[in-house]
Chains A and B, each alone.
Chain A
Amino acid sequence: MAEEYAGPIIQMRHVDKHFGQLHVLKDINLEVAKGEVVVLIGPSGSGKSTLCRTINRLETIDSGEILFQGVKLPEEGKELAALRAEIGMVFQSFNLFAHKTILDNVTMGPVEVLHRPRKEAEAEAMELLARVGVAEQAAKVPAQLSGGQQQRVAIARSLAMHPKAMLFDEPTSALDPEMINEVLDVMVELARQGMTMVVVTHEMNFARRVANRVVFMADGQIVEQNTPDEFFDHPQSERAKDFLDSIKGH
């Protein structure tokens, strides 16, 4: 890859997926440009998490195609692993490696996948941990940290791979309310630095503040997409209006 790829970093074309009888993704067409922050919102069961997980092929698709940096996602093997190394992923349940220290969680990818010298990887990991504000916890194991801290470590673990884009699958949904902001702050900072991000979330304030585009999904379809201000102030579809009303009621 000598030249920098200039087109949309993620492209989804006519993507369909079923879970048994359930049609979870219906003819999805979506492009994400470099540096763009796309927030996926919608009622639960609308397929937004599934969509997010198809981008690094944690979920396979039935038909259509997904391209990353203009190249179709590999189906298996080394190529697929190499692709995933370029896409960061942050999960709802953190999924830190329970048997490794915080530092080892962050260095695992760089050392094992990128084959970087351990010393170097550790130095960078410490910087990343400092950046997300958990450097003092480096020697602990995940279970000793709060949810918010664990999720920030998970973000650092992704960043250590120098990803070209990052996927966030409901990163704050498993957190106690007082910890949500410490994670969102890190994400806001990432967006400001120009990271390409696809974020599935229920945090509407975050979407309004940070997103370049809001994609609203319902029943496996993209119902509408717009800038956050337009979407939140003038939703076009009935589904979106209902959805926004229902969350305003809270």
Chain B
Amino acid sequence: MSANVVSMRDALYEAPGPKTRRRVKIGTAVSIVALIALLAFVIRQFYINDQLNPRYWSFFARWTTWRFLLTGFLGTLRVAFTAGIIAMALGLLLMLGRISSVKPLSAVCHVITDLFRSLPSLLLIYFFFLVIPKYGLKMPSFWMITVPVALAASGVLAEVFRAGVNAVPKGQTEAAMSLGMTHGKIMAKIVLPQALRIVVPSLISQLVVVVKDTTVAYVVSYPDLMQNARVLISNYDALVSMYFVVALIYIAINYATNRFSIYLAHRSGTKVISRTEENPV
């Protein structure tokens, strides 16, 4: 894995000769024209549908707009971090259960992990929003969104933790055993601390999934970023601009989170374990 993205991309091509250079120049020019045309088309669609009208955009210059969005964003953060912490704790427990030598416990944890990994978070949200209240249990909306998002994430995190434990070199355990440490002590003092350090970047990148899952908080009427944006839309009657801006905010947050996790991974010489690299369920 020495080649990074850029070098491999370039490795596919030879240093260009004169003919290739000419072709690349023409291709570049053509593609720029095509892209400009595409962009012009999009702007035109906005323009002819009066969506560039300042009245749809001017309220973004007001502090109150951003304050209200920020309040929503804090709601998003509250859900995301609470869910993240619950998911981490639960994921850790599920992983420990799964790798334990007690067969029934291991099997149960395995099944729960795979189950949470194979259910859409929305289905779990419906469970807490539609099903549980029918049995007379009323939860505050914060928990109706936070708990299902946490459950969905815990399955994935259990697998991330397991990958972390597997990444700790066998020699570490063997060395600890040769010192006469017990199984539990080895796990607690030697393996887990190293495994946790290995998975930090992966945990942070999983936050992106959690943040994405929180965006359906409007289902349970919890005031997150998306929900507050909907309120603003009805206040200002400015749907298009608002939905595009909110999308960009989410993209920016998630992009930054991803970059940060890659940066951490790079610095600590570990790898971001993403769901796509795990074994499928």
Q: Please tell me whether chains A and B touch each other in their complex, using a CB distance cut-off of 8 A.
A: yes
CB of A137, distance to nearest CB on chain B (Å):
26
Q: Which of B1-60 contact A (CB under 8 A)?
A: 14-20
Cβ-closest chain B residue relative to A61: B15
Chain A neighbourhood of B14, CB < 8 A: 57, 76, 80
What CA separation (Å) do A80 and B13 show in the bound complex? 13
What CA separation (Å) do A60 and B15 show in the bound complex? 7
Interface string of A59-83 (1 = CB under 8 A from B): 1100000000000001111001000
What CA separation (Å) do A77 and B17 show in the bound complex? 8
Interface residue SS majority, chain A: loop
CB of A3, distance to nearest CB on chain B (Å):
28
Chain B neighbourhood of A77, CB < 8 A: 17, 19-20
What CA separation (Å) do A60 and B20 show in the bound complex? 14
Interface residue SS majority, chain B: loop
What CA separation (Å) do A77 and B22 show in the bound complex? 13
Query: Of A57, A75, A80, which contacts B18 at CB under 8 A?
Result: A75
Q: Count the A-B residue pairs with Cβ separation under 8 angstroms: how many?
A: 18
Chain A neighbourhood of B20, CB < 8 A: 76-77
Chain A neighbourhood of B16, CB < 8 A: 76
Interface string of B188-230 (1 = CB under 8 A from A): 0000000000000000000000000000000000000000000
Chain A neighbourhood of B15, CB < 8 A: 59-60
CB of A244, distance to nearest CB on chain B (Å):
32
Chain B neighbourhood of A59, CB < 8 A: 15
What CA separation (Å) do A60 and B16 show in the bound complex? 9
CB of A176, distance to nearest CB on chain B (Å):
20
Chain A neighbourhood of B17, CB < 8 A: 74-77, 80
CB of B66, distance to nearest CB on chain A (Å):
46
What CA separation (Å) do A156 and B39 show in the bound complex? 53
Interface centre among A60, A74, A76, A77 (most CB of B within 10 A): A76
Cβ-closest chain A residue relative to B18: A75
Chain B neighbourhood of A60, CB < 8 A: 15
What CA separation (Å) do A76 and B17 show in the bound complex? 5
What CA separation (Å) do A80 and B17 show in the bound complex? 10
Cβ-closest chain A residue relative to B19: A76
CB of B11, distance to nearest CB on chain A (Å):
11
What CA separation (Å) do A192 and B155 show in the bound complex? 64
What CA separation (Å) do A59 and B17 show in the bound complex? 12
Chain B neighbourhood of A75, CB < 8 A: 17-19
Q: Which of A41-61 contact B (CB under 8 A)?
A: 57, 59-60
What CA separation (Å) do A59 and B14 show in the bound complex? 9
What CA separation (Å) do A75 and B14 show in the bound complex? 10
Chain A neighbourhood of B19, CB < 8 A: 75-77
Cβ-closest chain B residue relative to A74: B17
CB of B1, distance to nearest CB on chain A (Å):
13
CB of B13, distance to nearest CB on chain A (Å):
10
Cβ-closest chain A residue relative to B16: A76
CB of B5, distance to nearest CB on chain A (Å):
19
CB of B40, distance to nearest CB on chain A (Å):
35
Cβ-closest chain A residue relative to B23: A76
What CA separation (Å) do A99 and B83 show in the bound complex? 43
Cβ-closest chain B residue relative to A81: B14
Chain B neighbourhood of A74, CB < 8 A: 17
What CA separation (Å) do A77 and B19 show in the bound complex? 9
CB of A93, distance to nearest CB on chain B (Å):
10
CB of B36, distance to nearest CB on chain A (Å):
30
CB of B3, distance to nearest CB on chain A (Å):
12
CB of B148, distance to nearest CB on chain A (Å):
42
CB of B33, distance to nearest CB on chain A (Å):
25
CB of A170, distance to nearest CB on chain B (Å):
17
CB of A211, distance to nearest CB on chain B (Å):
30
Q: Which of A136-169 contact B (CB under 8 A)?
A: none
What CA separation (Å) do A60 and B14 show in the bound complex? 9
Cβ-closest chain B residue relative to A60: B15
What CA separation (Å) do A50 and B37 show in the bound complex? 44
CB of A132, distance to nearest CB on chain B (Å):
28
What CA separation (Å) do A177 and B276 show in the bound complex? 40
What CA separation (Å) do A76 and B18 show in the bound complex? 8
What CA separation (Å) do A57 and B20 show in the bound complex? 15
What CA separation (Å) do A224 and B88 show in the bound complex? 65
In the complex, given contacts A76-B17, A76-B19, A80-B14, what are 15 additional A-B residue pairs having Cβ atoms less than 8 angstroms apart?
A57-B14, A59-B15, A60-B15, A74-B17, A75-B17, A75-B18, A75-B19, A76-B14, A76-B16, A76-B18, A76-B20, A77-B17, A77-B19, A77-B20, A80-B17
The interface of chain A, by Cβ under 8 A from chain B, is 57, 59-60, 74-77, 80
Can you give 18 A-B contacts (C-beta < 8 A)?
A57-B14, A59-B15, A60-B15, A74-B17, A75-B17, A75-B18, A75-B19, A76-B14, A76-B16, A76-B17, A76-B18, A76-B19, A76-B20, A77-B17, A77-B19, A77-B20, A80-B14, A80-B17
What 4 A-B pairs have minimum CB-CB distances, sorted nearest first?
Answer: A76-B17, A75-B17, A60-B15, A76-B20
